[in-house]
Structures are given as C-alpha cells and as structure tokens.
Structure 1
Amino acid sequence: MTLVLKPLAEQVMVITGASSGIGLVAAKLAAARGAKVVLVARNDASLTEAVEAIRAAGGDAISAVADVGDIAAVRAAAAKAVGHYGRIDTWVNDAGSAIYAKLVDTPLDEHQRLFQTNYFGVVHGALTAIPYLRDTGGAIITVGSIASDLPSPILSAYAASKHAVKGFVDALRMELTADAVPIAITLIKPAGIDTPIAQHAANHVDGEALIPAPVYDPALVAEAILDAAEHVRRDITVGGAGRLQVLLGTHFPALLDRLAGVMIPAMSDKTRPKTESTTLFEPEQRGQERSGVQPGRKTSVYTAAERHPIALRSIALAGIAGATLLAFRRSRTRK
C-alpha cells in the first residue's frame, strides 16, 4: 500500500509547542501556504497573539490551550480541532523544554517534568492523533533533535529525553507498518536552532545558557516539517554540521567523551547573567520565534539534499567516484 499525503493547502494541521520557536514559525509558514492550523501550547496570551498574526496575514488558524504532559488536555485540543475543521490530517509534536545542568546536579522534579513534556508529550500526541488518522490516513511528525542520536553534557537530561523520543517514534512506525495503518511517521532531528529554548530552560550553570553551536534558523526546521506533511519521510536531519557531529559520536565515541571538557564551557556565556525564570513548569515567558542572541544559519545544503533522496544519492555517488578517482591517480603516481 502506497500512502499519499494531501497537498498542504488541503490539510488541517495540529502543532503543539506552537506559541514560540520552531512550532510558531512552522504554524505561520503552514498557514501562509494554505493549511488550516491549530496552534496548541500552554501560553494562552502567546497563542492568541500568534493566531491574530496569522489571520491578519490572511491565514486560517485557531488555538487550543493544553499542556502536552496531560493527555486529557491533548485530547480536548484534538476534539476542538475536529469540532472546528471537521478532521485532522497532520499532527506535529513540537513542544519541548530543556535543563542546563550536570545530571548529578539536576533536581529530580525538574528531570521528571522534562520527560513529562519531551517524551510523554510525544506519546500523548501520537496516541491522540492515531484514532483520527487511522481510517483516512495522514502524518504524525515529531521534532526530536540530533540529541536523539548524540549524548551531550549539561544538556544531558534533554538528550536522554530525545533518545527516548527516537525509540518511541521508531517503534511506533514499525508497529503501524506491520498493521498496515496508513499513517506516515517522521522524526525531525534538528541541530542547534535559534529559538528561545535556552532562555526558557531551567538553568543551573553559571552565566547565560547558550544553544550548542552550530546554530541554524528555525525556518529550516519549519520547511522540513511541511515537507514531511506532504511527502512520506522516515527522518530528516536539519543541519549538515549536526549530522557530522552525530557521525563523530557514532564512530568515535571515546573521542566524543574526551571532548566533553571543551564542550561544557561552550554551553554558557559567563560574561552575561543567567535567566532566572523558566517555562519548564509554567509558561512564565511570552512566546517568541528566535532567541535574539545567537543568529542561525539560514541555509543547509545537506538538509535540502536530504529532502530530495535522488539528489542526495547523486551527491554521495559523486563523492565516492571522486575519492576513487583520486585514489587511483595516487596509486598510478606511486608506480
């Protein structure tokens, strides 16, 4: 069975974590391209502001206040979407939080809350979306991280939650495939992205928390999300430099361990005061799209190629052919 997803302009899309960062950028972009968008988050004021901006630009959107850690609230948001638009075509799990601390210094209540949002938020979203998509087909897109494949010091609890998300998403895909359920399951794995996640994090390190470099613009992730809403994708890594980091960690894990001493100081700026408030438990800060501190790269050749598998294979084959030719010439020279 071949799953064909609807054009974006014919879709109803639910996006969690839509009051700031990647979710907000994706919601605005989806609405600009004709999708009917349901923005879900805890911050009512920020949601109202976002919906008004989308409508002012000619888009169609509503909001639903919900904490993704509460499955009853997530189900109520889905019911509101269906009650207003009649269906759901794509569900995007984007809500997430972070903690900057060594594992031994991470308060247990914060650690548990992080998993409630980052991991169980994905579980609640998927379990809520499946009954609406099972018969008509559609997509469930989850925003993970390169931390789904790569451990990290200081952002260690965050990385652990993203590892759990990857395990859940991959297993869910296998089970739905085995049952021939027409739902595309996609995991988006961004590198460091210029969003307010560091400013919203619970920070237990000295100085202002920083997004791990290299940093990319959230519009690149939004484009990957919209691509997966229209085309069946297994996973998409956003940011070629992030993909290189994952390859380093996969093939040279001991080297990565030794680099921790270099990585830890780069996770904060000790010349600037740290943010005292956090959105981990309550949405205390207003939503914004970007950090305003670490401008992100606006292009990624790797990510653009990854969304076009034929082009990516061509690039890989060209690289292999070039390396083979170079090796051949060197061998001839030695003779």
Structure 2
Amino acid sequence: MPDRAAEVVVITGANAGIGRAADAAAERAEQELGPIAIWVNNAMVALKRMRARDRGTILQVGSALAYRSIPLQSPYCGAKHAIKGFTQALHTEREHDRSKVHLVIVDMPGVNTPQFEWCKTTLHRHPRPTAACYRPEVAGRAIYWAAHSRRAEICLGYPTLGAVLAEKFMPHLLDRYRARTGIAGQQTDEAIPADRPDKLWKPVPRPFAAHASFDRGAWTVSPEFWAAKHRGWRWGAAALGVRLPGLSKRRKG
C-alpha cells in the first residue's frame, strides 16, 4: 500500500469524452507531484501509466443499476452496465498478465447529489432518487476505503445489495414491481419550470454543492458497508453460531 502522506490521487468524471483532458491532467500531476497512486474512473488513461510501474490502484464508480436497470434511466443504466463489463474484462487481463495494479469497483445506491437538480429531463415533475438514498459523505467514505483496500468490488447500501440479489433470484417479479412503482417513484409532486437549465451541453450557472434537496430522510451511514469492512467479525460470529449448539449438546451429554 502506498504511503498515504505522499500519495497522489486523481479523480475524473466517468465520461469517455474527457480522455484527452484527463491524460493531460495526469501528465501535469505526475510532473508536479510524482507518480499517481490512486486513479478514480477512466481506467485506460491510468492503466498505461500504472502498467509500466506495475503498481497503483484504479477505482471505478459503478452502480446498482449495473445489475438491475430501471425505467426512465435507460442511457444511464446502459453506461453502468458497460462500466461493469469493462471492469470485469480488465480484471481477467490483469490476472493473465500477473499485474500488481489493483482494480476495484464500488457499486453505488442512489446518492443525494445535484444530478437531480441539473439533469436533462423530459419529465413534467421534478426527478428524485429511487428508493432510499444516501448522503454524499457515505459514498465518499466508501470510495476512500475501497481505494485503500484490496477488494475487487464493494456494494454500498442495502438497495444495491437488494438489487443484486433480486435480479439473480426473482427477476420477473422485479420487472412487475419496477413497472408498478419505478416511474412515479422517481418523481416528486413539484412541477418542473419551463426554463429549468440543465448541464447536458454547458454548465449550469448556479452555486451547486455536493448535496441536493433530498437530505431529509437520506441515510448518513451504511450498515452493509460496515459489514463489508468487517468480514472477519461476520465469519467469527457465523462460526460461533455453528459451534454453540454442539457445545450445548456436549454439556448436556
């Protein structure tokens, strides 16, 4: 693991169109600060640098929607499926090359970011997160921890874990559930103004921060993430649960 006091971290948007700009930013960062230790998104730009050194960490920000698509978000779901597939292929290539460059993907639930305030939409009512959402700090802590772990994948939040399991074991039931709740559940009762700006073609001139307007009711912690970080406790508890009945029988005997 790199020295955290000296590590260089580069975070880019998950956008294939910024490859050249990201490459130029990486070149400048390495000239001024030294080798990049952790790179978030746009893996190919990072890989050509890290592969030569045979070290470093590439983190991809994925989504629960890479496992289970939902209505009204087909382009986003398609993009997240692509990131998932790309990352899986890259994992196998690393294994073949015996590369020491670490690759990890964090599957996100709904997060209360300004995307709901500035996204391009054809809806008549204000977009909102589907199901339970999490505050951005929860996502940030998970990304930071994952970047310094040796895990291949982290599922953040119970909606993500639920999407993975439901798609695996009852996909048709999930289809009917999403058809019934997925469209109304992604909209508030607030009408969208006709002059609402969006950031599809240019930045929105408003002082946005990390949070959107759905902090009320948003999760500030993720018990599932805590369990993922402390796998040893889970295995220990499971082993104890198996052992206790045997000990009880032995004592009675």
Query: What TM-score results when the alignment is normalised by the length of structure 1?
Result: 0.66
What does residue 251 of structure 2 align with? none
* Offset at residue 249 of structure 1 (A): 2.4
Q: Is the 8 A contact 1:236 1:307 kept in 2?
A: no
**Structure 2 CA distance for partners of 1:314 and 1:157, relative to 1, 3 Å:** farther
Following TM superposition, the consecutive aligned residue runs of length 4 or more in structure 1 with deviations greater than 6 angstroms are none
2:190 to 271, 295, 301: 271
Distance, in Å, in 2 between the alignment partners of 1:231 and 1:176 is: 17
1:114-156, Cα deviation, whole Å (9 max, x unpaired) = xxxxxxxxxxx21111122121511000111111111111112
What does residue 299 of structure 1 align with? 221
Partner amino acid, structure 1, of 2:180 = G
Q: Is the 8 A contact 1:146 1:191 kept in 2?
A: yes
1:82-129, Cα deviation, whole Å (9 max, x unpaired) = 122021000012xxxxxxxxxxxxxxxxxxxxxxxxxxxxxxx21111
Equivalent runs, 1:226-237 vs 2, <5 Å: 226-237=144-155
* Offset at residue 262 of structure 1 (A): 1.4
Secondary structure, counterpart of 1:289 in structure 2 = coil
What does residue 86 of structure 1 align with? 34
What does residue 77 of structure 2 align with? 159
**Structure 2 CA distance for partners of 1:8 and 1:279, relative to 1, 3 Å:** farther
Q: Is the 8 A contact 1:8 1:230 kept in 2?
A: no
* Offset at residue 319 of structure 1 (A): 11
Distance, in Å, in 1 between the alignment partners of 2:25 and 2:77 is: 28
Distance, in Å, in 2 between the alignment partners of 1:146 and 1:319 is: 32
Distance, in Å, in 2 between the alignment partners of 1:319 and 1:291 is: 44
Q: Is the 8 A contact 2:54 2:99 kept in 1?
A: no
2:49 to 122, 132, 136: 132
The percent identity for this pair of structures is: 28
**Structure 2 CA distance for partners of 1:203 and 1:318, relative to 1, 3 Å:** farther
What does residue 10 of structure 1 align with? 6
Equivalent runs, 1:58-207 vs 2, <5 Å: 69-93=17-41, 125-134=42-51, 135-207=53-125
Distance, in Å, in 2 between the alignment partners of 1:12 and 1:187 is: 19
Partner amino acid, structure 1, of 2:35 = R
Secondary structure, counterpart of 1:271 in structure 2 = strand
* Offset at residue 276 of structure 1 (A): 2.5
Partner amino acid, structure 1, of 2:196 = E
Q: Is the 8 A contact 2:63 2:160 kept in 1?
A: no
Q: Is the 8 A contact 2:107 2:156 kept in 1?
A: yes
**Structure 2 CA distance for partners of 1:282 and 1:318, relative to 1, 3 Å:** farther
Point out where structure 1 has 5 or more consecutive residues left out of the alignment: 18-40, 42-66, 94-124, 326-335
* Offset at residue 272 of structure 1 (A): 3.6
What does residue 288 of structure 1 align with? 209
**Structure 2 CA distance for partners of 1:213 and 1:318, relative to 1, 3 Å:** farther
Distance, in Å, in 1 between the alignment partners of 2:231 and 2:56 is: 21
Distance, in Å, in 2 between the alignment partners of 1:284 and 1:191 is: 25
Distance, in Å, in 2 between the alignment partners of 1:81 and 1:312 is: 40
Count of paired positions: 239
Q: Is the 8 A contact 2:8 2:37 kept in 1?
A: yes
Secondary structure, counterpart of 1:270 in structure 2 = strand
**Structure 2 CA distance for partners of 1:207 and 1:318, relative to 1, 3 Å:** farther
Secondary structure, counterpart of 1:82 in structure 2 = helix
Point out where structure 2 has 5 or more consecutive residues left out of the alignment: 246-253
